Structure 1
Amino acid sequence: MFDFPVQHAEASFAPDAANLRSTMLSNAIFDPAVRPNKTVLVVAGFSLLTINSVDNLQHSLTVTGWFTLVSLGFYSIYNLQLADIGVINDDNLQLTVTHTGDVLWEPPGLYTTHCEIDVTYYPFDRQKCIIELTSWSMTKDQLELDLASDDIDTEDLRTNGEWIIVSTSVKDRYLLDTKPDGTVVTSSQLDFILVLERRPAFYAINFIVPIILSSFLSCVVFLVPIQAGEKVSYILTMILAIAVLLTLIADSLQHTSLTASVLGNNVVLCALITVLLLNIFHNKEKVGPTSSFYKLTTVVATIIRFQGRKRISKKGKGNAGNKVCPNGTLPLKNLNNEVEQYDELDGQPIEMSISVDNGGKQVYTWAELANIWDRFCFWVFIIFTSVCTLSFLVALAVGGRKDFAST
């Protein structure tokens, strides 16, 4: 023989259901064919199961969940049998009617709603999406919606790989609709608000890091020796690589944009300067030491401490063939016993000469002017790229967090 403890529980039995049907349907108290003249109060809540997708292109949010609608009072049976509340209705869904006359309706579904996407701080952005629950045909005098909770129920929420929920809230308000005759119809509405934050790890690995590397590699074009003849091909390769990256990013964003890519402008500017430096390098004319460009170049050379090309030679007829390069090899004989120059980096002889003016000041050739500006542009673009990259990353991270801080 077993002894089980019994706790008090409130329940409804067959006699209660029979009394309810007898009171509401058999007697003249309630006619299901006539809408009640009292305002029906419906308490609504939403339980979120999964975040299916947030479409940047279509500006839409798709979630899976269910609404919990409780209509209070005896007259609610009529209302929920014919009501048009909800995002999706299913005639096959069963209603639960308690012995007190309250009606419980929990319609599950896959809900797709409009969500305005702001990609200003992409991919460190936050989005605010709203699921609106209202009645299309009943005014607030016929149907009043009240919130069951101040938040969305996320107890059964499944983890999403792209988005995390920062906060949820529920607000009630009235929807105003002006008819053609000027009549204003007021309906009750509930807004279920989701604040979502994008997980940036995927975008950082696949987009941000490659773009930053490409940006810095585009500055390396100024370190490629002009004599090698690979400067233009190198920068064109970088333009192609960055164009592919920007295309991949554009495919994941909306196709309307009012801003140009700073990275793309930077690479194009590098290409234009590269072509300009090549033209300067291959210029065979003499540059006057009194020109403004020459004076500016002299200042730049002082800033970057450009040493120019070192001349290593021994003069004299007997020593014409004994000139030694910095790398220890013997160059070809200079029959005219002229001064030969060697690159201070690779030790290779180059066809240029360094002369001095009457005041004893060194006069740069066009090739050296090109090398000076090459070195100068490298440091300028490296500093510019570093500052811009750091500024943009900080702005994205901080700005994306501030958007809905007060929500």
Structure 2
Amino acid sequence: MKEDFLYFIWKFQYFKSIQLCTDQNENLEIISTGLQNHDAGPDFLNAHLRINGIEWHGNIEIHVKASDWKKHQHSQNRAYDNVILHVVWENDFNVFRKDHSLIPTLSIKNCIDPKIQDGYTSFRLNDDVIACGSQLENVSRLHKLAMLDRVFLERIERKAGKILQQLQHSNRDWEECTYRTLAEYFGFKVNNDAFQRLSSIVPIRLLKLHAYQPLQVEAFLFGSAGFLSDEANSPYMKKLHREYKFLSHKYAIKEKEMSLHEWKFLRLRPANFPTIRIAQLSSIIINIPHLCSAFLHISSLESFIRFMQHPTSEYWHSHYHFGKTSQKPISAFIGKSALQSLLVNVVVPLQFAYGTDRNESRYKEKAIQLLEAIPPENNKFTKLWKGYSIKNNSSLDSQGLIELYTQYCQKNRCLECSLGVQVLNSKNKH
């Protein structure tokens, strides 16, 4: 038995409520179950009960076992002083208030409709990737749209929140914050951590100071990333070595230099090698003087693709790695799918975060409109939803579907999802 099921049972009152009594044999009438609390403190707030004819207003705490109250040390937490009912699956412990009065307990183990419990059990034992997938056709389109909107907002607010945390770490420098956010996503998941560390070693202000000399920007990044530790075997590499030796001494960054083992190449397509991505990032920094301002003005995928069409230096037109010549010519530009990913994961959250920080809704609305205009994503998460009666017409839908799967389906949070609740409700009606 899980607490989330008990929350569901209490919230929707799926138990025999006629002539309900507490475990202390007091008549209990539930006027309002209260509002579910997803933060710290009691599970339901501002409930309204009538116990033995006396009305009570307060909070509800729910546990599988009553003794969990002691295990969770609620007695030492003043947030639980106003609990008026302890709802449990199994009552194995009496809970008292600070004035030593007993908190009424309701055991609901024997009060639950068996159909609801069976439906919940089938959820828990379902091996399907989407536990309720086969039942989604029974959920109304309105509920699907509402849930997708909800999880999309949760996702974009979480991403924006991460950017706002980065803003604080960057001393509220929006340009530095944008650069670090962009650099991290140039890792395209596999090398995100490494790119994040690289951007922390070389701040944007140093790169901008030397942007008029492109070779120095590349030397900064490749050297700090640890790629210039080997012997130089080409004129290009010799120049990078020379520039990095000067820059690392001038700015005292040699001791912060990364190790090659921090970078991952295994099972990556050559176009995704970190060497190629660093060359592309260098080109962006060299050619775009004000990253933050530029990204805030992006309004379409097409304009973003045009804006980011800056070729890498000539060496990377024929090399995926230092000293290794490619048999085939290499594109000098970032691919369209990669740019769409950067737009969705960097530009849109940045616009939303900026609007949140400045309290300017136009930037947040612009971010949402931009996602609505971008074609749907086609990745391992969105593919999971194919065949189910749920839409994926734009990147806004895709972001909602990704959030729904990774934060709800994958974590078995079916009873916190309105789709799962609707499926269980429909089973209860039959």
- Asked which structure has the greater CA Rg, the reply is 1
**The two structures share one fold, judged by TM-score above 0.5:** no
User: What TM-score comes out, normalization by structure 1 length?
Assistant: 0.26
Higher helix fraction (1 or 2): 2
TM-score (norm 2): 0.25
Higher strand share: 1
